[in-house]
């Protein structure tokens, strides 16, 4: 595999969960919503269409798999998927478990309030429950 | 193709642009950002992983193609891609052209302020310029 360096901000804001064929899967360290990110392990990618067709296909499958695992593990009402990159240009996809009445409902979560880091044991337990469904 | 009915709110808020192999492509009728939506023409889909693997792949290619066309036509700094569905459950993907200093920058556009409908000629001209790149 070509070299890959994870963006420093993504690294600081999230916790490593797993490495799939293309993507690193990471838990956003924000206890307000079960929220994972998928980062294709390719340097210099910023938009979805920057990826090769094969990588686009792999990203989609990994996104679908990870999203289903997150929904199964949390029993959430709806997933929110997004690739914004207004702050961090390295291509990364958000998958967030949403429920009526959560802190940002029905709006998006990005930019809302202040990140609430997990208690370490809670993060470990959530990661285990998501990986069990993956 | 199986039957497909477009959600009424999506229909009212956007303007038909094109029909691709899987998706309807529509321009959001909001002049604040060049903003298209892709709606897979399949009934009963709400999450990405509800689609068949082939449809997931097609959606990704159409999303990449449409995103590249939108970026080429507008010269925007960054695309924002999202599938939220907190209001409208029918699966649809947003692709939005973003620039520093736009009305919501660097936050997401969803839920911000009030939709500003296009002047008809402006919408027609933007649609033509995006389709020319597709």
How far apart, in whole angstroms, are the C-alpha atoms of residue B98 and residue B78? 5
Tokens read off for A52: 């090769």
Q: Decide if pLDDT at B2 tops 70.
A: no
pLDDT recorded at residue A1: 54
> Cis peptide leading into B74, omega within 30 of 0?
no
Task: Specify whether the CB–CB gap between B93 and B38 falls below 8 A.
Answer: yes
- Contact, B126 vs B76, CB < 8 A? no
Instruction: Work out the mean pLDDT of chain B and round it to a whole number.
Output: 97
- Map tokens 């094969």 to a residue: A54
**What is the predicted pLDDT for the residue at A3?**
83
Which of B112, B7, B30, B78 has the alpha carbon at shortest distance from A107?
B112
* Residue-wise pLDDT tens digits, B97-133: 999 999 999 999 999 999 999 999 999 999 999 999 9
Q: Which of B117, B95, B115 is nearest to B38 (CA)?
A: B95
Element (H, E) at A120: helix A120-133
Q: What is the mean pLDDT of each run of 10 residues along chain A (134 residues)?
A: 88 98 98 98 97 96 97 98 98 98 98 97 98 97
For residue A53, the distance in angstroms to the closest alpha carbon of chain B comes to 8
Q: Residue B65 pLDDT more than 70?
A: yes
Query: CA A108, A110, A115, A118 torsion: positive or negative?
Result: positive
Tell which phi-psi region holds residue B47, choosing left (phi > 0), alpha (psi between -120 and 50) or beta. beta
Banded pLDDT at B3 (limits 50, 70, 90): confident
**Interchain CB distance below 8 Å, A81 and B48:** yes
Q: What is the pLDDT of residue B1?
A: 54
pLDDT exceeds cutoff 90 at B71: yes
- Per the CB < 8 Å rule, is A56 touching B79? no
Q: If you average pLDDT over residues B27-34, what whole number do you get?
A: 98
Task: Name the residue with tokens 């008809």.
Answer: B120
CA–CA separation, B57 and A58 (whole Å): 9
Q: Say whether pLDDT at B58 is over 90.
A: yes
CB-based contact, A65 to chain B, within 8 Å: yes
| Closest residue on chain A to B112 (Cα) | A107
Number of other CB atoms surrounding residue A106 within 10 Å: 15
Alpha-carbon distance A96 to A133, whole Å?
16
- Report CB contact under 8 Å: A82, B82: yes
Decide which of A29 and B2 is more confident.
A29
B contacts of A87 (beta carbons < 8 Å) = 106
Query: How far is B25 from B39, CA to CA, in rounded Å?
Result: 7
Domains of chain A plus CATH, in order, are: 8-133 (3.30.428.10)
Residue A65: per-residue pLDDT: 97
């Amino acid at each position: 595999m070509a070299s890959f360096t994870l963006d420093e901000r993504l690294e600081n804001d999230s916790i490593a969960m797993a490495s799939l064929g293309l993507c690193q899967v990471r838990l956003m360290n924000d206890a307000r919503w079960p929220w994972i990110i998928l980062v294709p392990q390719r340097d210099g990618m910023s938009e979805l269409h920057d990826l090769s067709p094969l990588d686009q296909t792999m990203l989609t499958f990994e996104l679908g798999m990870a999203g289903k695992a997150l929904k199964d593990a949390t029993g959430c009402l709806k997933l929110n998927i997004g690739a914004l990159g207004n702050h961090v240009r390295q291509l990364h996809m958000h998958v967030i478990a949403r429920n009526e009445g959560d802190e940002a409902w029905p709006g998006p979560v990005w930019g809302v309030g202040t990140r609430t880091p997990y208690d370490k044991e809670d993060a470990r337990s959530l990661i285990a429950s998501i990986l069990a469904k993956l």
